[in-house]
Every structure is written in structure tokens, then in C-alpha cells.
């Protein structure tokens, strides 16, 4: 079953009168449970592609289907709901809420979902915080954590809603290579145990080599 499906997707950015074509007719599919890397040089369209898949933006032309829904046909509130329930995000610069501690940061999307009791939320949060190895830092605020620890919090936050797809735009770019490697290892492990679909971009060759599947982008088109 396809978690993600792109058909002849183009995305143009308008910069004043100039139209910048970021994606030029992309076709691709990602099946459930896959661990896929989007590779390509800077400016090739990786972020644009992930934004479209992450329902944060809609294509200029073509069809983007995420978890069975065609994003171009959805209203803003429905896109937001889709992001909340089906997608987990891991950002390049972690994007934690600075005034909340680790527990609260991880719990945050569960509060937005409103479907779990306090007790269920607590169990869920503790489970994922343990998975990313931060049980000892529950009460710490982001500025009291290292970069690697922050990205682990972000991973826990992305996973806590049990989304179908985890998207990560260059999750290791702001980390040293050793820490980056442990983050990749963590993601691989979760992929294996939970069967969560992982789709992340990188331009790091070392990381690309570890992926089961690599989609190469160049100049807004898929080259392999």
C-alpha cells in the first residue's frame, strides 16, 4: 500500500515577476513501512518536496496523495488535521517550544488531538521519551539540552501521535557526524520495530548509503 503518491507534481515559486520552478513534474511512490532518503544537492528541491508531502503547501500542478487523501483538494483546516494525525515532523533545527520542558513538548501534539485521557497521554509520552533515551531529562527545558538530545525530543514528539509517515528535512544537518549517526540509528530502529514510514532528505553521502531506498533529485526532477 502506498503511503505517499506523487503524480506529475510541479511547484513554482513566484519571486516578484520571476517564476522559479522548484519541482518540474515529479512522479514517486513511497510504500508503508519504507525507510527512504531523498538525496540531492542544495537547491535541488528536497525541502519543497517534503513540504508538499507534509501538507504544509500544495502543488502548482499535479497530484499529491498522502495517507489516501489528495492534498490539493483539502481545506486549510483539513490539511492541518492531516498533519496532526497522519504525519510526524522532524525539523533540521529541532523547533521545540522553548518555554516547555521535555515532557510538555512531547505531549503537545497529543493535546492538540484531544482524543486521549491525561493518563493515556502520560503513558504514551513516557514510552516515547524512554524510546529516545531521555527518561532522565523529563523536566529539562530545550536550552538545557544538547543538540542531539533536542533532536531526540523532536523525534519523540513526531512519533507520539503514532503517525503513518515521519518526514525529516535534513535532520542531521545541524549535528556533528557522530551524533547525526546515532539519530539515524534511532530512526532506523524505530522503523524496524514500529513499521513507521520514514522519509527524510539529506545531502550527506554517508547517510545516503545506509538507506534501503534513495530517491535522487536534481533541478526539481527525480533522476533515479
Partner 1 sequence: MDSWVTWKIAFRNLFLHKFKTAVIGFIIVFGTTLAIVGNSLVDAISSGMQRSLTNSVTGEIQIFSSDAKEKLSVFGNMDGSMPDVKHVNDFVKVRDALLAKVPNIQSVIPMGTEAAMWNPGNILDVKLEDLRALYSAKPRDVEKITKLKEYVRAMVENTRRRLDESRSSVSLVLKKDDLFAKAPANLSQALSSEFWASFDAHAEERIEFLANNIAPLIFDDSFVWLSYMGTVPGEFQKAFSQFEIVKGQQIPEGKRGFLFSEYVYENIIKNRVARRLDQVKKRIEKDGTKIAGNQLQTDAISACVAQAAEIYTQIAPSDVQTLAPKMRKLMDSKENDFPKLIKDFLAMNDSNFMERYKFFYEEIAPKIVLYKVRVGDVFPVTAFSDSGYSVSVNMKVYGTYHFKSFENSPIAGNFNIMDMMSFRELQGFMTAEKRQETKALEAEMGVADVGRDDLNAIFGNRDDKPAAKTTTHISNALAPTTAGKFEARKRVFEQVYSQEEMTNGVFLNAAVLLKDASKISQTLKQIQDVAKSENLGIQAIDWRDAAGMMGQLTIMVRAVLYFLVLITFTIATFIIMNSMLMATMERTREIGTMRAIGAQRKFLLKLFLQETMILSFIFGAIGTLVGALIVGTVGARGIPAMGDPAQGDVSTFFFSGDRLYFHLNPVHILVVFICMTLVAIISTQYPAWRAMKISPLEAILSKE
Ligand X SMILES: Nc1ncnc2c1ncn2[C@@H]1O[C@H](COP(=O)(O)OP(=O)(O)O)[C@@H](O)[C@H]1O
Q: Grid coordinates standing for 70?
A: 489528495
Q: Can you tell me the distance from the alpha carbon of 48 to that of 58, in angstroms, rounded to the nearest whole number?
A: 10
Q: Can you tell me the distance from the alpha carbon of 44 to that of 222, in angstroms, rounded to the nearest whole number?
A: 10
Q: Which residue's CB is nearer to ligand X, number 47 or number 181?
A: 47
SS3 191: helix
Determine, following the binding rule CB under 6 A, whether residue 42 of this chain makes contact with ligand X.
yes
The percent helix, strand, coil of the chain (3-state, each to 5) is 40, 30, 30
Contact of residue 12 among Mg ion, ligand X, partner 1, none (CB under 5-8 Å per partner type): none
Determine, following the binding rule CB under 6 A, whether residue 46 of this chain makes contact with ligand X.
yes
Select from 40-48, 65-73, 74-82, 155-163 the region that touches Mg ion (CB under 5 A): 40-48
Q: Which residue's CB is nearer to ligand X, number 42 or number 98?
A: 42
Determine contact, residues 62/45, Cβ cutoff 8 Å: no
Among 112, 126, 208, 214, binds partner 1 (CB under 8 A): 112
For the beta carbon of residue 212, count every other beta carbon within 10 angstroms: 11
Determine, following the binding rule CB under 6 A, whether residue 136 of this chain makes contact with ligand X.
no
Residues lying near partner 1 in the complex (CB under 8 A) = 47, 51, 54, 56-57, 76-77, 80-81, 83-85, 89, 91-93, 95, 97-100, 104, 107-109, 111-114, 118, 157, 161, 169
Amino acid at each position: 500500500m502506498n503511503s505517499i503518491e506523487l503524480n506529475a507534481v510541479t511547484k513554482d515559486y513566484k519571486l516578484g515577476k520571476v517564476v522559479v520552478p522548484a519541482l518540474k513534474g515529479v512522479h514517486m511512490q513511497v510504500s508503508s513501512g519504507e525507510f527512504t532518503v531523498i538525496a540531492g544537492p542544495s537547491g535541488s528541491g528536497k525541502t519543497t518536496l517534503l513540504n508538499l508531502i507534509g501538507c504544509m503547501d500544495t502543488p502548482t500542478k499535479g497530484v499529491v496523495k498522502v495517507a489516501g487523501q489528495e492534498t490539493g483538494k483539502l481545506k486549510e483546516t483539513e490539511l492541518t488535521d492531516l498533519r496532526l494525525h497522519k504525519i510526524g515532523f522532524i525539523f533540521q533545527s529541532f523547533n521545540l517550544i522553548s518555554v516547555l520542558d521535555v515532557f510538555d513538548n512531547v505531549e503537545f501534539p497529543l493535546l492538540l488531538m484531544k482524543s486521549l485521557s491525561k493518563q493515556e497521554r502520560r503513558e504514551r509520552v513516557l514510552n516515547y521519551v524512554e524510546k529516545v533515551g531521555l527518561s532522565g531529562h523529563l523536566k529539562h527545558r530545550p536550552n538545557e539540552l544538547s543538540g542531539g538530545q533536542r533532536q531526540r525530543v523532536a523525534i519523540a514528539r513526531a512519533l507520539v501521535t503514532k503517525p503513518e509517515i515521519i518526514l525529516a528535512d535534513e535532520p542531521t544537518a545541524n549535528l556533528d557526524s557522530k551524533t547525526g549517526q546515532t539519530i539515524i540509528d534511532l530512526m532506523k530502529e524505530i522503523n524496524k520495530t514500529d513499521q513507521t514510514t520514514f522519509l527524510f532528505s539529506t545531502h550527506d553521502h554517508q547517510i545516503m548509503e545506509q538507506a534501503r531506498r534513495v530517491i535522487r533529485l536534481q533541478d526539481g526532477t527525480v533522476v533515479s
